[in-house]
Amino acid sequence: MAMKIMEKIRNVFHCEAERILYVCESQSLRNFIRKELLLGNCLTAGKMNISIDLDTNYAELVLNVGRVTLGENNRKKMKDRQLSKQQNENISRAVCALLNSGGGVIKAEVENEDYSYKKDGIGLDLENSFSDMLPFVPNFLDFMQNGNYFHIFVKSWSLETSSLQIATLSSNLYKRDVTSVKVMNASAALEFLKDKEKTGGRAYLRPKLPTTRVCVDVQEESNMEALAADFFNRTELNYKEKLTFTESTHVEIKNFSTTKLLQRIREILPQYVSAFANTDGGYLFVGLNEDKEIIGFKSENSCLTKLEEVTKNSIGKLPVHHFCMEKGTIDYLCKFLRVYDKGSLCGYVYALRVERSCCAVFAKKPDSWHVKDNRVEPLTEKEWIQFMVDSERVYKELPSPAGTSSPVSQSCPLREYINFKIQPRSYHLPGLSEKITCTPETLCRNLFSQHEGLEQLICEEMGSVTKGSLIFSRSWSLDLGLQENNKVLCDALLISQDKPPVLYTFHMVQDEEFKGYSTQTAQTLKQKLAKIGGYTEKVCVMTKIFYLSPEGKTSCQYDLNLQVIYPESYYRTTAQTVKDLEEALSNILPKENQIFLFVCLFILFFHCARPVCFFLR
Ligand SMILES: [Zn+2]
């Protein structure tokens, strides 16, 4: 029944449920949709169990990871190891998704009773997952227990700290490190990919050795490789015969019991094939004991066919990203070498040769996440590589705002603001002219003359501010590419040295809720500051909603500061913060304004450059 109603709503509004939520301000209707939506989210997320928390007061992207056991001892004592692993995976993915989507908050319900963050900590396995992902955990994450809930505040990923564009849990690109197989960390993967991109996949051709190379008594890796090649080409092997070579960059030897053979080969193939293909090619032999003696495994023909099939399917499924034009498939050959004991067939050795690949071979998709269309989703290998390699292409894709399409901005306070920076024209509040600048001047004059009480209200609000700017707009929401709410009189953004940015919303409609509107605007502003403006420090945007009565009376309807608590570091603001925030704001300007700014800078440069030219002459 409920699903049918949802379907109807979707058809009437022609939009996703998430978007309906922010369109309707009626509490009961919102609650209904929210309930259905969360249900839908859980169904689609399946095992992952991460949903977007739409019930939050925070003007943030909040990811709900469900119930989690916390504390070092409690996590150690967990009997269900699978559950513990899954909880860790969920939280890591949520952290990764928020890092890549402009920051946000993770909300977990604490599973174990009597948990105290102060006394019990988080849990070593979780800490390790965080430090594997981040260069320095405290720079990115803050933890806070609030009753039975645990919050992780995640700052946006920043290019400066790591020289990587995005956060990654695992590249799933493997390499061969002499006799072991290792997954490349994100930095190593970046080097590897850049090299492949630079050479366009041509670097896989091996150099020809000079024929006049002197042969003395030296042993090197190429000898082992040549011996392995000879071994691979043999048609008959003798039981208990000893190998003449050992494991190396090009050779891996395994001995699996016959009962688990198929399963084990299926498990190891993606990593080994990825490693050999990404390094220098090589051989995998299965059916030799620890003393490098040929044992072989007993098998029927049907089993060999099955093994061959598993090999083919497993290698066929590996994601490959090509930088070359040829886009060849993974070059391999799978064989079964017959083992004879005193003339009679007693078993087989599984032999796989993998050639070095022209480009990048993954064991599976890279493990990197983001929030897209209101869902936590993995990046495809193509997206991941683009963001990793393309230094020009900063990861700017924003989680699509729940407030529908992006209309072309009509009024733009930013433009006025930048104009003001170059050619100061601001409104000064009586008694506060030294502390506060209100821009743009014309809009402020209009608003203050039309709405009795607004100027007085602003003066009172700014009383405690030491120094700052208040940037007015008819609709900050519209300026950020969201929908306008025509019942809103105006919004104003305060950037000051004393506290986090505050987004004020003023309206003249009694008995109506504007919380959804102002929360969505503040959340989008924060994300754009990080993803487009490049401001990736810890920051929160507070919201405050005021009702202006026609008689000139004013009353505060909502103050986010009284509803939520942020970690201490989110409240720290300095003169530098103000400067950086202003710069970030100028970066989220629409194009035409940037051109304006560029022209101004150019003129300035030209004036400075002229005397220099003259001097050089
Ligand atoms: Zn290629």
- Burial status of residue 263 (CB atoms within 10 A of its CB: 0-12, 13-18, 19 or more): exposed
Q: Is 60 exceeded by the pLDDT of residue 222? A: yes
What interhelical angle do 261-278 and 301-317 show, nearest 10? Answer: 40
Question: What band does 8 get if pLDDT is binned at 50, 70 and 90?
Answer: low
- Are 495 and 530 within one domain? yes
Q: Give the model's pLDDT for residue 513.
A: 85
Structural domain contains residue 400:
no
Give, in degrees to the nearest 5, the angle at Cα 270 between 264 and 271: 90
Q: Is 50 exceeded by the pLDDT of residue 145? A: yes
Alpha-carbon dihedral sign for residues 265, 267, 273, 279: negative
- Are 355 and 231 within one domain? yes
- CA 270 to ligand 1 centroid distance, Å: 18
pLDDT, mean over the chain: 83
| Closest by Cα among 20, 96, 98, 87 to 58 | 98
| CB of 558 closer than 8 Å to CB of 515 | yes
Structural domain contains residue 217:
no
Per-residue pLDDT of 436-485, as tens digits, reads 888 888 888 888 888 888 988 998 888 888 888 888 888 899 888 888 89
Domain containing 110: what range? Answer: 51-161
Question: What band does 610 get if pLDDT is binned at 50, 70 and 90?
Answer: very low
Q: Give the model's pLDDT for residue 268.
A: 95
Q: Three-state SS for 298?
A: coil
Distance separating alpha carbons of residues 34 and 516, to the nearest angstrom: 13
Q: Is 70 exceeded by the pLDDT of residue 402? A: no
- Are 231 and 355 within one domain? yes
- Are 447 and 573 within one domain? yes
- Are 55 and 37 within one domain? no
Per-residue pLDDT of 543-569, as tens digits, reads 999 999 988 889 999 999 999 999 999
Tokens 């990048």 appear where? 360
User: What residue type is 94 in one-letter code?
Assistant: A
Q: Is 50 exceeded by the pLDDT of residue 401? A: no
Check if 247 is active-site.
Answer: yes
What interhelical angle do 2-13 and 27-45 show, nearest 10? Answer: 100
- Are 107 and 17 within one domain? no
**Beta strands in 2-124, from DSSP E residues, in sequence order:** 51-52, 62-68, 104-110
Q: Region 402-420: what's the mean pLDDT?
A: 45
Per-residue pLDDT of 276-325, as tens digits, reads 999 999 999 999 998 999 999 998 888 999 999 999 999 999 999 999 99
Instruction: Tabulate helix, strand, coil % of the chain (nearest 5).
Output: 40, 20, 35
- Are 248 and 353 within one domain? yes
- CA 615 to ligand 1 centroid distance, Å: 54
Q: Three-state SS for 256?
A: coil
- Looking at residue 166, what DSSP letter applies? S
Q: Region 172-176: what's the mean pLDDT?
A: 96
Q: Which residue has the higher pLDDT, 399 or 615?
A: 399
- Are 256 and 185 within one domain? yes
Q: Is 50 exceeded by the pLDDT of residue 409? A: no
What percent of the chain is modeled with pLDDT above 70? 80
- CA 378 to ligand 1 centroid distance, Å: 24
Question: What band does 585 get if pLDDT is binned at 50, 70 and 90?
Answer: confident
For 389, other C-beta atoms within 10 Å of its C-beta total: 18
Q: What is the CATH number of the domain that holds 192?
A: 3.30.950
Question: What band does 41 get if pLDDT is binned at 50, 70 and 90?
Answer: very low
**Beta strands in 198-342, from DSSP E residues, in sequence order:** 236-238, 251-254, 282-286, 320-321, 332-341
- Are 198 and 317 within one domain? yes
- CA 202 to ligand 1 centroid distance, Å: 8
Pinpoint the alpha helices (H) of 46-178. 72-76, 81-99, 117-120, 124-133, 137-140, 159-162
Structural domain contains residue 614:
no
Q: Region 62-78: what's the mean pLDDT?
A: 95
Of 361, 390, 407, the one marking the end of a domain is: 361
Per-residue pLDDT of 113-144, as tens digits, reads 899 999 999 999 999 999 999 989 999 999 99
Tokens 């991460």 appear where? 50
Per-residue pLDDT of 479-503, as tens digits, reads 888 888 989 999 999 999 889 999 9
| CB of 348 closer than 8 Å to CB of 339 | yes
Question: What band does 40 get if pLDDT is binned at 50, 70 and 90?
Answer: very low
Q: Is 80 exceeded by the pLDDT of residue 212? A: no
What Rg do the C-alpha atoms of the chain give, in angstroms?
Answer: 31
Cβ-proximal residues to 499 (8 Å cutoff; 6+ apart), any chain: 465, 542, 571, 573
- CA 201 to ligand 1 centroid distance, Å: 5
User: What residue type is 153 in one-letter code?
Assistant: F
What percent of the chain is modeled with pLDDT above 90? 53
Which residues hold their Cβ within 5 A of ligand 1, which is an ion? 201, 322, 324, 358-359
Q: Is 60 exceeded by the pLDDT of residue 177? A: yes
| CB of 57 closer than 8 Å to CB of 545 | no
Q: Is 70 exceeded by the pLDDT of residue 209? A: no
Q: Region 168-188: what's the mean pLDDT?
A: 94
Question: Cα–chain-centroid distance for residue 34?
Answer: 25
Q: Region 374-395: what's the mean pLDDT?
A: 82
- Are 505 and 543 within one domain? yes
Q: Give the model's pLDDT for residue 491.
A: 93
Q: Which residue has the higher pLDDT, 68 or 611?
A: 68
Cβ-proximal residues to 486 (8 Å cutoff; 6+ apart), any chain: none
- CA 274 to ligand 1 centroid distance, Å: 14
Q: Which residue of the set 18, 60, 225, 252 is catalytic?
A: 252
- Are 321 and 461 within one domain? no
- Are 232 and 322 within one domain? yes
Structural domain contains residue 304:
yes
- CA 322 to ligand 1 centroid distance, Å: 4
CA dist 339 to 240, 241, 302, 336, 525, Å? Answer: 9, 10, 18, 9, 69
Distance separating alpha carbons of residues 123 and 129, to the nearest angstrom: 10
Structural domain contains residue 200:
yes
Pinpoint the alpha helices (H) of 134-260. 137-140, 159-162, 186-199, 221-232
Q: Is 60 exceeded by the pLDDT of residue 13? A: no
- Burial status of residue 526 (CB atoms within 10 A of its CB: 0-12, 13-18, 19 or more): buried
Q: Give the model's pLDDT for residue 593.
A: 41
Q: Give the model's pLDDT for residue 65.
A: 96
DSSP for 530-578, please give it: HHTT---SS---EEEEEEE-TTS-EEEEEEGGGT----GGGT---HHHH
Beta bridge partners of 426: none
Tally of structural domains, the chain: 4
Q: Give the model's pLDDT for residue 410.
A: 39
Question: Cα–chain-centroid distance for residue 540?
Answer: 19
- CA 191 to ligand 1 centroid distance, Å: 17
Question: What band does 9 get if pLDDT is binned at 50, 70 and 90?
Answer: low
Q: What is the CATH number of the domain that holds 478?
A: 3.30.70.2960
Q: Which residue has the higher pLDDT, 8 or 333?
A: 333
Q: Comparing 83-87, 387-391, 403-407, 538-542, which segment has the lowest mean pLDDT?
A: 403-407
Distance separating alpha carbons of residues 574 and 162, to the nearest angstrom: 24
Q: Give the model's pLDDT for residue 407.
A: 39
Question: What band does 31 get if pLDDT is binned at 50, 70 and 90?
Answer: low
Structural domain contains residue 123:
yes
- CA 204 to ligand 1 centroid distance, Å: 9
Distance separating alpha carbons of residues 184 and 196, to the nearest angstrom: 15
User: What residue type is 451 in one-letter code?
Assistant: H
Q: Which residue of the set 60, 247, 455, 461 is catalytic?
A: 247
Structural domain contains residue 62:
yes
Structural domain contains residue 352:
yes
